[in-house]
Structure 1
Amino acid sequence: MPPVSPKGWLDPRSELARLAENLCEAKSRGNGFRQIAFPLWPGAAKQTETRGKPEEGKPMADRFRITLAQLNPSVGDIEGNAAKAFAAWQSGREAGADLVALPEMFITGYNTQDLVEKPVFHQTAIAAIDALAAQCADGPTLAIGGPWIEGASLYNAYHICRGGRVVSRVLKHDLPNETVFDEVRLYDSGALGGPYAVGNTRIGSPICEDAWHPEVAETLAETGAEFLLVPNGSPYYRGKLETRYNHMVSRVVETGLPLIYLNMVGGQDDQVFDGGSFGLNPGGKLAFHMPVFDEGLAQIDLERGPDGWRIATGDFAPVPDTWEQDYRAMVESLRDYCAKTGFRKVLLGLSGGIDSAIVATIAADALGPQNVRCVMLPSEYTSPESLEDAEALARALGTRLDNVPISKGRDAVTETLAPLFEGHDPDLTEENIQSRLRGLLLMAMSNKFGEMLLTTGNKSEVAVGYATIYGDMAGGYNPIKDLYKTRVFEQCRWRNANHRPWMAGPAGAVIPERIITKPPSAELRPDQKDSDSLPDYPVLDGILDLLVDQDGSIADCVAAGYDHDDAKKIERLIYLSEYKRFQSAPGTRLTKRAFWLDRRYPIANRWRDPG
């Protein structure tokens, strides 16, 4: 792990220096690096003349300025995204930039999923880029991501605009087809191509996934690229920054070229794009690092010397630790989900337990306490401590707290069903009526007040179905859907000890200590504890990590020291609850195995590990 400062920040320069040193040593030994001379592809000579030839009559420049636009697009808001791009271009023109660069698929927003296949949508996006090129005729070159059509083929492209028109297009070659990405079914793969010219400078732009593999960057280097500019739509997951560093240092070591990595920011459904754009000089030395999660423009200068271009040293934003990055991702995803779907306020059921406490805190930090309604829905099983804890939390956060007892409603439902249930003993059905009644009341308030209902189930509960469908699973978004219960406890402690300028909620220990330390309970029957139905959370989460996050087996669980019967029980619950997850609200993606696009399993499934 990189060095950690007293404030919990990581220094990316130290980590990148270590990676570069290891990779340079490996290259010198010939280990793990492909040294390939690529043949020219059909039409390469013609393409190089139009795309990579320096402009005639231009003197060789010794300085090249790029305005990097680390911005937050909205999927489908083509007009709004174009306006953001134009504003960035204007800033670049005022700063004397030679090139203004925006991220991958910026004009449409990202990830578009199947929307990009709709003809009227991609035609509108392409027309918007043409209009933007005309609007940006007098000033720096504009580079922007968007779709492109050639014949019957749809491409993920990078459009290079100069002099009022699109003068070049880079077509993405390596299409990701894993986790949240389905680009193989959406786009055609572009041919390996050469660099494009801006003035007398030739630039290679591997698009996102193209820079995670060697062939595109090597081809660009061999066909005359002087540095690499990599536009990305790269979403966050825990540890993603280090993964990016590894790949980009590899490209720099292989090609010997400077590399600028440009990423977008902002939430889109379950995904959060975390920015963190950076530059690397030959040898892997970090030249600058933009903040994670924040929108911003950076003026990046390159200087030409005897050994070619080098990125001038710029600012180095600190990189927060994992706890802060996870929490920021949950805040930003909720904030953008509301902004991009039209909600200004949210509500949630506040039980006095830890899950609803952290969700209420995330909501207050995302939208401001004045835009969060907490609702206590007690029954006779609700403990006085839970009522006190819920009130203390709402008071500390500054949110509204409504108290809506459910006993009369539950009695009415029970009476209505009594003739049908006669002769049957009370069981889980009656417990679930309480949860579903709470869901009904919360959804009624959501309809009446126009406030989006948040769900509060953690990843441990979502995994094993320890939640009531059409009850506490009702709602529009779940910020902690990919956060295991054991991490919920630690995340609460982190938030109590830390406050940042991007948090709209108050500073201090807003989550009462008793909420964090008391045994978790759904409080649907007397003296109920979660441990009555499930293994203790450290055991449960350990087994889930193996079975879900690592795609392991029952044998793997046993080898790790877990009880065989516990592992079999958890596996059974995971498969049985698939239908619940299929109908659950979207939520913030924090790992590479989040429930939704990362892990897609059949609902009707009779497979069980024979181990």
Structure 2
Amino acid sequence: MFRITLAQINPMVGDMQGNLALMREAAAKAAAEGARMVVFPELSLTGYYPGDLLDEEGFLDAVDAALAEALAATRATPGLHWVIGAPLRRSGPGKAIENALLVLQDGEERLRYAKQLLPTYNIFDERRHFEPGPDVARVLRIDDVRIGFLICEDGWNDDGADYAVNPFLRLADAAPDLVVSINASPSHVGKREQRHQLFAAAARRNGLPLLYVNQVGGQDQLVFDGASFAVTPEEGVVFEARRFVPDTVTIGFAAGRFLDAQGRAPAKPPVEGLARMAFYHQQIVLGLSDYARRCGFRRAVVGSSGGIDSALTLALAAEALGPENVVGITMPSRFSSSGSVDDSVALCEALGVQLLTHPIREIVAEFERGFAAATGVAAQGLTLENLQARVRGTILMEYSNAHGHLLLTTGNKSEISVGYCTLYGDTNGGLGLIGDLYKTEVFALAREVNEAAGRVLIPLAIIDKEPSAELAPGQRDTDSLPPYPVLDDILKLLIEGRRLGAEEWAEAHARVAALRATPEGEALVARIHKLVARNEYKRRQAPPILRLRPRAFGSGRQMPIAARHVF
């Protein structure tokens, strides 16, 4: 039986020494378990994605040095083949770097393959830095097994719809016994099932078993969920590694079948993955914990308004970082209800989070007096509402500066879409946890957090109350916006469209079509479209947002600020 170790590691971009340490640890485990090959993710030496670090002076020299160390490290595991990913220099016309896969053994390079399909859609921009590899298949014989290799996107074009080249078809012509694909495939809702369907179809069409090894961990806005898997032409997905955690596991391969350590068929994973809210929950917690760790933060601070958005952000932060490392600050104004302050107290007590109180009534009044004296105009309406938000944002940044906490912004996707937020106020912060959740999803995830905890962490009074910014007397969100279920359907179609899952698209499309059947509904849809376009300038200045859905704000949706939009 040919043994292969899937090294689903959590590398950090640029930390080549740290990434090498993870590789050495996984390789040692593989060698101890009798593996002949250990497979690491795409660009595992540098982490995915280095971006313009690839252009920085000295970066490729550091890659060369780390690669030399990796070669030397393979001598400590005699006979074990290391499959790693790295950016490598190349010669000839075009870009000077390629996204490469290397097979190293006993201090020597046994095989090199350059990624052919370089994605430039959604969050990806690999053609910015890399030159595509030649249209050739690379196969290596180890013992009596012929192994072909692919890198991530190379396996996503088997239907030939997106690129003129199909590396999978070329590899099938070479007739390997097994295909190994190394990947850095970011996670979003539905992505696991999409991978399974696509690669099961490709394996069946080409008659080739395949091993898919993915990265895990958070990197800026992206979260990689791991969930590496094995697929056969006859049975589809027959094995899956753990999700959202590093996992180094050895499996067997013989006669076109994958086997467990005892030589038996492994337990097949369920067709359906996590429920949607459980998925959001795990993805956000991993994304925040890695973002904070990699940026050097141990603690976080959140403005606690007593509303659902800040409550959910506090609960997720407490889970990711530990409640002792999270601070909430409530900043009541003359428009704040006593219930909101009481709800903040109950929330933080349930979470075990410290809550500080910093009233802003007098601060805002002083600003009002100064503004009126200087301009002869009273601060009122939107000016006064935004003033309160900016005072709160300044206090939160003051605390962050004084104590070194990461400030988490609390805006959701619905509000960010239409600009229902204040620049330099509630948009202040270093990371947004729920900025890719529509408001209706925020409520659902809050309930899931309570259910997962087995007790009420987020008080039902917060979940059930009518949303309000509390910046004016009697203010409610519906004074400015349609009900959130209506707004969210309009936004889903506008922002994500056909990227939505089939069921979600059909539901949103049917409801919006019914809305547009009336003049009032058509006018509402047009108004929302204009609000989304008009507020691009706010989103451009907002903190990064953890990506949860197929199309998130940030690098995944690049829109001009100054443009004429056709609705």
- TM-score between the two structures when normalised by the length of structure 1: 0.85
CA shift for structure 1 position 249 = 0.8
Unaligned runs of 5+ in 1: 1-62, 500-506
Instruction: Kindly provide the CA deviation profile for residues 486-520 of structure 1, in whole angstroms up to 9, marking residues without a partner as x.
Output: 00011111111113xxxxxxx52101001111110
Q: Is the 8 A contact 1:266 1:332 kept in 2?
A: yes
2:391 is the counterpart of 1:437: yes
Q: Is the 8 A contact 1:456 1:480 kept in 2?
A: yes
- The partner residue of 1:201 within 111, 125, 145 is 145
CA shift for structure 1 position 213 = 1.6
SS at match of 1:454: strand
SS at match of 2:409: coil
Instruction: Kindly provide the CA deviation profile for residues 149-202 of structure 1, in whole angstroms up to 9, marking residues without a partner as x.
Output: 111531111111012022211111111111110112221111122212333422
Separation in 1 of the partners of 2:55 and 2:511? 42
2:184 is the counterpart of 1:233: yes
CA RMSD of aligned residues (A): 1.8
2:206 is the counterpart of 1:255: yes
CA shift for structure 1 position 420 = 3.1
- The partner residue of 2:473 within 526, 531, 549 is 526
* Aligned residue number for residue 5 of structure 2: 67
Matches within 5 A, 1:388-537: 388-423=342-377, 426-499=380-453, 507-537=454-484
* Aligned residue number for residue 131 of structure 2: 188
Q: Is the 8 A contact 1:267 1:332 kept in 2?
A: yes
CA shift for structure 1 position 309 = 5.2
- The partner residue of 1:314 within 256, 263, 266 is 266
SS at match of 1:334: helix
Percent of pairs identical after alignment?
39
* Aligned residue number for residue 301 of structure 2: 347
Q: Is the 8 A contact 1:521 1:528 kept in 2?
A: yes
Instruction: Kindly provide the CA deviation profile for residues 529-560 of structure 1, in whole angstroms up to 9, marking residues without a partner as x.
Output: 000011110111111111111179x9998634
Separation in 2 of the partners of 1:326 and 1:425? 40
* Aligned residue number for residue 178 of structure 1: 121
The one-letter amino acid paired with 2:152 is: C
2:47 is the counterpart of 1:109: yes
* Aligned residue number for residue 37 of structure 1: none
The one-letter amino acid paired with 2:465 is: K
The one-letter amino acid paired with 2:483 is: D
The one-letter amino acid paired with 1:518 is: K
CA shift for structure 1 position 314 = 2.5
Q: Is the 8 A contact 1:204 1:217 kept in 2?
A: no
2:494 is the counterpart of 1:547: yes
* Aligned residue number for residue 503 of structure 2: none
Post-superposition, which runs of at least 4 consecutive aligned residues in structure 1 deviate over 3 A?
308-312, 315-319, 554-558
Q: Is the 8 A contact 1:194 1:224 kept in 2?
A: no
Q: Is the 8 A contact 1:237 1:589 kept in 2?
A: yes
2:61 is the counterpart of 1:92: no
SS at match of 1:155: strand
Q: Is the 8 A contact 2:196 2:237 kept in 1?
A: no
CA shift for structure 1 position 606 = 2.4
Matches within 5 A, 1:258-337: 258-304=209-255, 308=256, 310-312=258-260, 313-316=265-268, 319-337=273-291
* Aligned residue number for residue 217 of structure 1: 168
* Aligned residue number for residue 21 of structure 1: none
Aligned pair count? 536
2:530 is the counterpart of 1:590: no
Instruction: Kindly provide the CA deviation profile for residues 350-383 of structure 1, in whole angstroms up to 9, marking residues without a partner as x.
Output: 0000000000001011000000000000011110
* Aligned residue number for residue 504 of structure 2: none
- TM-score between the two structures when normalised by the length of structure 2: 0.91
SS at match of 1:540: helix
Structure 1 residues 316, 291: CA separation in 2 closer, same or farther (over 3 Å shift)? farther
CA shift for structure 1 position 522 = 0.4
SS at match of 2:58: helix
Separation in 1 of the partners of 2:71 and 2:562? 51
Structure 1 residues 397, 555: CA separation in 2 closer, same or farther (over 3 Å shift)? closer
CA shift for structure 1 position 111 = 1.7
- The partner residue of 2:112 within 169, 185, 188 is 169
